[in-house]
């Protein structure tokens, strides 16, 4: 269940004041992309779809859509997912 926007904004405000990384507060998703071959998503909720050209992950901010070629889930842990392959685009779905 998504958190209310008001709570999310409050958490961000506290984080900014205390200089705490945003991804450490609550369910803020953090996406790191290195070149076009490696993508790391932290604070995800689960795998929604997994194919060779499309991987969709559920997050607190909606579904993150990663498109590309030869995609695979290199690492799948409760707090972090790593995607290997040729990443072409990363987008949030409404």
DSSP track, the chain:
-PPPHHHHHHHHHHHHHHT--GGGSTT--EEEEETTTEEEEESEEEEEEE-SSEEEEEETTEEEEEEEEEEEEEEE-SSEEEEEEEEEEEEEE-
Asked if residue 46 binds another protein (CB under 8 A), the reply is: yes
Minimum distance, C-beta of residue 1 to another protein, in the bound complex (Å): 16
Minimum distance, C-beta of residue 26 to another protein, in the bound complex (Å): 19
Using CB under 8 A, which of 8, 22, 42, 48 touches another protein? Answer: 48
Stretch in the footprint of another protein (CB under 8 A) among 10-18, 24-32, 47-55, 60-68? 47-55
- Name which of 14 and 47 has its Cβ closer to another protein: 47
In angstroms, what CA-CA distances link 15 with 9, 26, 45, 54, 69? 10, 10, 22, 33, 36
Residues numbered 71-90 forming contacts with another protein, rule: CB under 8 A: 71-78
Site residues for another protein per CB under 8 A: 46-52, 71-78
């Amino acid at each position: 269940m998504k958190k209310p926007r008001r709570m999310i904004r409050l958490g961000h405000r506290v984080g900014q004041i205390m200089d705490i990384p945003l991804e450490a507060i609550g369910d803020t998703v953090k996406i790191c992309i290195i070149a076009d071959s490696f993508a790391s998503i932290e604070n995800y909720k689960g795998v929604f779809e997994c194919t060779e050209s499309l991987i969709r992950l559920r997050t607190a901010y909606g579904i993150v859509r990663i498109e590309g070629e030869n995609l695979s889930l290199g690492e799948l842990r409760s707090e972090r997912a790593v995607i290997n392959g040729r990443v072409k685009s990363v987008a949030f779905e409404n």
